[in-house]
Structure 1
Amino acid sequence: MDFTSYDTETWTTFFKDNWLVLVIALVVLFLVIRIVKTVVKWAIVAALVIGLVLYSGYSLDDVKGLGSKVMDNVKQEALNVMVGDGKDANYSLNKDGSYTVKTNNVELKGEVGASEVKVSIHGAPYITFQIDGVIQTFIDQAKQNG
């Protein structure tokens, strides 16, 4: 198994969701190591470790896939809000060369000429998106609104 492609968020989510199983397994592991003193001990330890690895709750790949699905949903929600709020968007050019587009529900910050923007929905932390057709249309409509 190659665990190098998993980021800290994937590991954190996996441990948060499976903490009880992992704690129980560690307690059983320590009990087996302290009580059993033969080769059987290591067979039990190996079986316990293999059982944890094959634990059918879900794998780290599933957790990683879940994170990308959540990001896709957040982006889709952001785009839907932008389309709905475009007529109310206000564009402001900042002195440092950046711009801000605000509505009641969305705040978008970016650098003039950059290919990425930071988007916040309903005051949530900013998420970076590539500027695509919908986002560019939202920015252009905000410029037209004044």
Structure 2
Amino acid sequence: MDMNQLFEFLKQNWLIFLIALIVLFVIVSFVKTVVKWALVLVIVAAVAVYSGITWNDIDNVVTTVKDETVQQLKDQAMNAMVQEAKKATFSAGADGTYTIKSPNVELKGSTNSSKVKLAFNGVSLGEWEINDTMKLFIDEAKKK
């Protein structure tokens, strides 16, 4: 949806949006149960449908935000690996597994695998293919 089109629609229908906001404020202020959130969702969905926003548009926005957030977390995790490599500790298990921990990053892997499980600030980012940054992080942790 084009932003100019959205702004033009808001200019033409400002009264409806104002009434919806007032109703939402009243509901949130006075209703104290789960029904409150059901009513809020119904009103927001009705305004969205009235404004011409489709579920496909919403899905695209959610997907874009999710992808950008995951990419930012990945970038931050890689930067943290570079910055915290000297603080990382390496511990190996008897079965060939290893764990590397630094203040913000935790890697878990196996010596015969090309993948590791990565957690950043306690949030699991899934299983990743080992890249050059990770190899440097692993090597620096092994030196200690």
> TM-score, length-normalised on structure 2?
0.60
- Cα distance change of structure 1 residues 108 and 52 upon mapping to structure 2, 3 Å threshold: farther
Q: Deviations over 1:9-66 (max 9, x none)?
A: xxxxxxxxxx76751388x7xxxxxxxxxxxxxxxxxxx99x4694179520221121
- Structure 1 SS opposite 2:123: coil
Task: Show the counterpart of 1:24.
Answer: 43
Q: One-letter code of the match for 1:92?
A: S
Structure 1 pair 20–83 and aligned structure 2 pair: CA distance change class (3 A): farther
Structure 1 distance, partners of 2:44, 2:99, is: 51
Residue identity matched to 1:84: Q
The residue aligned with 1:92 is: 91
Quick one: distance in 2 between partners of 1:52 and 1:127? 39
CA distance in 2, matches of 1:109, 1:53: 48
Of Structure 1 and Structure 2, the greater helix share is in 2
Q: CA deviation at 1:141?
A: 1.1
* Structure 2 CA distance for aligned equivalents of residues 138 and 82 of structure 1: 6
Tell me the CA shift for residue 88 of structure 1.
1.4
**Corresponding position of 1:103:** 102
1:1-146 → structure 2 map (5 Å cutoff) = 23-24=42-43, 51=49, 54-55=52-53, 58-145=57-144
Aligned residue-pair number: 106
Give unpaired runs (5+ residues) of structure 1. Answer: 1-18, 29-47
SS of the equivalent of 1:113 reads coil
Query: Identity percentage over the alignment?
Result: 33
Distance 1:53 1:108 in 2: 46
Q: Tell me the distance in 2 between the aligned counterparts of 1:94 and 1:52.
A: 59
Q: CA RMSD in A?
A: 3.1
Helix, strand or coil at the partner of 1:125: strand
> 2: CA distance between counterparts of 1:52 and 1:113?
56
Distance 1:21 1:85, change over 3 A: same
